[in-house]
């Protein structure tokens, strides 16, 4: 797996503090990484140092170091500027600490950074250091919304000689000079006062001609929509049927016209003829006809015959012989009584 690295280039410093009794200072830079543990304990690793520049407060080193980062999420980069002493420990002139996670990914950052010296004070500060820092982390995921991604577009793209648009496009002299021609459109076009005031003239088209709306008619300018609140004949809220409905003069007089439909034509009803679907006074179901005439219908199963005993209107009543027949139990005229041979006269 690729390493996470921080590349530090220490270029120069300025306005450093004077630390020697005789002369100025002999500065050098210590570069290292700080690891933070539990309870904010600190440990250091990967220290690198520049050369010492003698007797100056504005040294120039121009040295570069590559440090491997163990914990990029919580480690920090520390730069310290010291005054070198031959017979004693070096003297701290200023320091700088930068969290690794705060550095931009894959992009070198060059700037002057102010130095600090905890526990001491100095008018004008403790100087500045000029550095270039590049943070590379192949395992890092670009922050959400970072566009374009690192390494895009790839080097050599687009290829040389291929551009947008190709060379020589558009061709020289396009569009041609003098296009559009000067003075186009001509001045004063359209002419002032066009269309003329009062156009179309009032009363156009004249009333009474085909296509001219009648004043107040539906669809005429200013005429309220039929049925709209406030329109003539519009019902009041909650009123049904609306007042003035149907409108006066409806249907118009003389409608339908006399003689319509014409008599004698197929489908035209004859005067006095029963209208289709109208019940007849004597027909079944006519108002006031009870029992309906011809009910029950003759000749249908279950219907009594007029001459059958018990039928409505049958005469003579049930139990009496019809005219021309002897009472029940006597033979008809010209037939012998039961038990006598035919052709013999009964004994007196």
What is the Cα Rg of the chain in Å? 63
Which residues in the chain come in under a pLDDT of 50?
Answer: 282-283, 307, 344, 346-348
Which pair of tokens denotes residue 266? 């197929």
Give the span between the Cα atoms of 217 and 223, in whole angstroms: 6
Sequence spans of domains, the chain: 5-136
DSSP three-state, residue 33: strand
pTM of the model: 0.43
Question: Whole-angstrom Cα distance, residue 113 to residue 264?
Answer: 118
Long-range contacts of 255-259 (CB under 8 A, 24+ apart): none
CA end-to-end span of the chain:
157
Label the pairing between strands 109-114 and 128-136.
antiparallel
The candidate with the shortest Cα–Cα distance to 134, out of 156, 163, 104, 111, is 104
Q: Which two tokens stand for residue 263?
A: 């008599």
Distance from C-alpha of 280 to C-alpha of 288, rounded to nearest angstrom: 11
Distance of alpha carbon 193 from alpha carbon 50, whole angstroms: 87
Residues 117, 120, 121: CA angle, nearest 5 degrees: 100
Query: Is there a cis peptide before residue 16, judged by omega within 30 degrees of 0?
Result: no
CA distances 131 to 7, 77, 81, 135, 140, Å, are 10, 12, 13, 13, 24
Neighbours of 3 (CB within 10 A): 13
State residue 54's pLDDT score.
95
- How many CA atoms lie within 13 Å of 31's alpha carbon, on the beta-carbon side? 22
Q: Alpha carbon of 273 to those of 126, 267, 268, 289: distances in Å?
A: 129, 12, 10, 20
The CATH homologous superfamily to which domain 5-136 belongs is C2 domain (2.60.40.150)
Give the tokens for residue 151.
Answer: 């390494």
Upper half-sphere CA count for residue 20 (Cβ side, 13 Å): 16
| Angle 65-41-74 from CA coordinates, rounded to 5° | 50
From the list 142, 140, 138, 100, the residue with the least C-alpha distance to 7 is 100
DSSP per residue, 58-74: S-EEEEEEEEE-S-TTT
Cα 32 from Cα 95, distance rounded (Å): 11
Please tell me the predicted confidence (pLDDT) of residue 188. Answer: 74
The set of residues, in sequence order, having a beta carbon less than 8 Å from that of 70 and lying 6+ positions away, is: 33, 35, 45
What pairs with residue 66 in β-bridges? 7
Cβ-count burial of 162 within 10 angstroms (0-12 exposed, 13-18 middle, 19+ buried)? exposed
Give dist(CA 233, CA 247) in Å, integer.
Answer: 8
Is the separation of the CB atoms in 181 and 173 below 8 Å?
A: no
> Is the peptide bond prior to 273 cis by the omega test (within 30 degrees of 0)?
no
């Amino acid at each position: 797996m690729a390493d996470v690295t921080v590349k530090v280039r220490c270029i120069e410093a300025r306005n450093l503090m004077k630390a020697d009794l005789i002369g100025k200072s002999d500065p050098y830079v210590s570069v290292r990484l700080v690891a933070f543990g539990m309870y904010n304990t600190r440990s250091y690793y990967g220290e690198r140092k520049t050369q010492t520049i003698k007797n100056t407060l504005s040294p120039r080193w121009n040295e570069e170091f590559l440090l491997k980062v163990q914990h990029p999420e919580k480690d920090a980069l520390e730069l310290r500027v010291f005054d070198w002493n031959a017979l004693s420990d070096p003297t701290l002139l200023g320091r700088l600490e930068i969290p690794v996670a705060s550095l931009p990914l894959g992009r070198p950052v060059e700037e002057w950074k102010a130095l600090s010296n905890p526990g001491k004070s100095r008018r004008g500060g403790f100087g500045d250091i000029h550095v270039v820092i590049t943070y590379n982390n192949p395992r890092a995921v670009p922050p959400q919304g970072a566009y374009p991604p690192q390494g895009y577009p790839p080097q050599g793209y687009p290829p040389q000689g291929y551009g947008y648009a190709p060379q020589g496009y558009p061709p020289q002299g396009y569009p041609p000079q003098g296009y559009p021609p000067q003075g186009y459109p001509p001045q004063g076009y359209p002419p002032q006062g066009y269309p003329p005031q009062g156009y179309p003239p009032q009363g156009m088209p004249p009333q009474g001609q085909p296509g001219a709306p009648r004043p107040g008619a539906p669809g005429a300018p200013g005429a309220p929509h039929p049925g709209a609140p406030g329109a003539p004949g519009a019902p009041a809220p909650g009123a049904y049927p609306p007042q003035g409905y149907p409108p006066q003069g409806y249907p118009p007089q003389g409608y339908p016209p006399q003689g319509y439909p014409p008599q004698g034509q197929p489908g035209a009803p004859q005067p006095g003829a029963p209208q289709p679907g109208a019940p007849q006074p004597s027909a079944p179901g006519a108002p006031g006809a009870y029992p309906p005439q011809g009910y029950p219908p003759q000749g249908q199963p279950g219907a009594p015959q007029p001459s059958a005993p018990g039928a409505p209107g049958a005469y003579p009543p049930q139990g009496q012989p019809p005219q021309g027949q002897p009472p029940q139990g006597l033979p008809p005229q010209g037939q012998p009584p039961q038990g006598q041979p035919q052709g013999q006269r009964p004994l007196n």
